[in-house]
Chain A
């Protein structure tokens, strides 16, 4: 039967070459026996339409051949969870390293928007290349493990390589139903953190980034910023870098879900330092006149209003931060006390049970 021969030839093309003759010979024997029986029941050969219908029921040659192949996936279920975890970490770190390198290149050269835009446009390609490499490596590992070329006990027996005692404790916020910080949220925070840091670092050489068109008016005005603002600026840069660095460490360690109230309090407290620096300036003179001898009479009153406004504004910020800090510390203390109260009966129960 010509159609059957054509079908088997098509199946053969999709079979592994080492076994294709053997498989096709067996398949031919089975299908010919089936065909003979069908024709015996009908008392005549099958018509072309009937043959087509019968072969269609067997499934397409590609489908039939695929069932004989043992390895039908790139990355199997055994190592897939590890692959996903590695993919996330690799994508995150490649993006972070890429941004650091680009920031360094931008700042060591002439900072301009075109370089920043070009660096941003390349991000999706970096991510795709990273994903492709990780996938390729894991596909090779999976192939090696499934064909016994590779033995990696940590991968194949990963389900037994953990201890329940190592699991992080249940956090009070989670129990209350509040959502933990997700991986995506943390990555977004890191990426935007880098953008923010880049923006802040670009401000001294490109003041328009902060002031916009008002920079032209400011340049022509009789006022200038006092030296305290540079101290203020570098404190802000240092604190932003610290926070960003910590987020990166959390991503690397996979602990982004963990709440760190102490660290938040410390950062908030450190955030008061630049504010206090501004408040501590003698006579609140944070903004000065370019030519005090010439302009004091004309602009002295306005300058005083500006400096007093800055002072009161920063004082308000300081007070709000102090109140927030006090609330945070009180909440931390309360949570610690609650945890102690909750664990006490459990401990007592465990003690008496024995």
Chain B
């Protein structure tokens, strides 16, 4: 990987990091378990590695933003996640912040054209 490619990769990951959390919170307004959540996000164009998504779910749960429960489905025990009440509040705030940033970036881009 060249220096420029490496730099791009680092910046891309940095840019994605915050967006992934927001996307996961948005998707978990509906209940999912790890793999189906990953598929649902992928179908919407957001491909997340297993080693990123599954630990992220744990972290968000530890932070009180997600609630989870073990349940049997298709003869297999799975851990289902959904947004907690704290998570809903946080998601609303983050969404607002994201929309503001998005609008600012768009306005900046448009003003330069």
Residues of B within 8 A of A32 (CB): 76
Q: A17-52 interface mask toward B, CB cutoff 8 Å, 1 = contact, 0 = none?
A: 000000101110111111000000000000000000
Interface centre among A23, A29, A58, A68 (most CB of B within 10 A): A29
Within 8 A of B (CB), among A280-325: none
User: Is A345 part of the binding interface, using a Cβ–Cβ cutoff of 8 Å?
Assistant: no
Interface size class of A (residues with CB under 8 A): 10 to 19
Within 8 A of A (CB), among B38-74: 38, 49-52, 54-55, 58-59, 62
Please, how many angstroms separate the alpha-carbon atoms of A63 and B55 in the complex? 11
User: Is A164 part of the binding interface, using a Cβ–Cβ cutoff of 8 Å?
Assistant: no
Q: Which listed residue, A26, A33, A63, A70, touches B54 by the CB 8 Å rule?
A: A26
Contact B51 A30 (CB under 8 A): no
Please, how many angstroms separate the alpha-carbon atoms of A58 and B53 in the complex? 11
Interface size class of B (residues with CB under 8 A): 10 to 19
User: Is A64 part of the binding interface, using a Cβ–Cβ cutoff of 8 Å?
Assistant: yes
User: Is B8 part of the binding interface, using a Cβ–Cβ cutoff of 8 Å?
Assistant: no
CB proximity of A63 to chain B, nearest CB, Å: 6
Please, how many angstroms separate the alpha-carbon atoms of A150 and B20 in the complex? 32
CB proximity of B51 to chain A, nearest CB, Å: 4
Binding site for A on B (CB under 8 A): 33-36, 38, 49-52, 54-55, 58-59, 62, 76-79
Top 10 closest A-B pairs, CB basis? A67-B55, A30-B34, A30-B35, A33-B35, A59-B51, A26-B79, A29-B78, A68-B55, A64-B51, A67-B51
Binding site for B on A (CB under 8 A): 23, 25-27, 29-34, 58-59, 63-64, 67-68, 70
29 A-B pairs with CB atoms under 8 Å apart are A25-B77, A25-B79, A26-B34, A26-B78, A26-B79, A27-B54, A29-B34, A29-B76, A29-B78, A29-B79, A30-B33, A30-B35, A30-B38, A30-B78, A31-B35, A33-B35, A33-B36, A33-B78, A58-B49, A58-B51, A59-B49, A59-B50, A59-B51, A63-B51, A64-B50, A67-B52, A67-B55, A68-B54, A70-B59
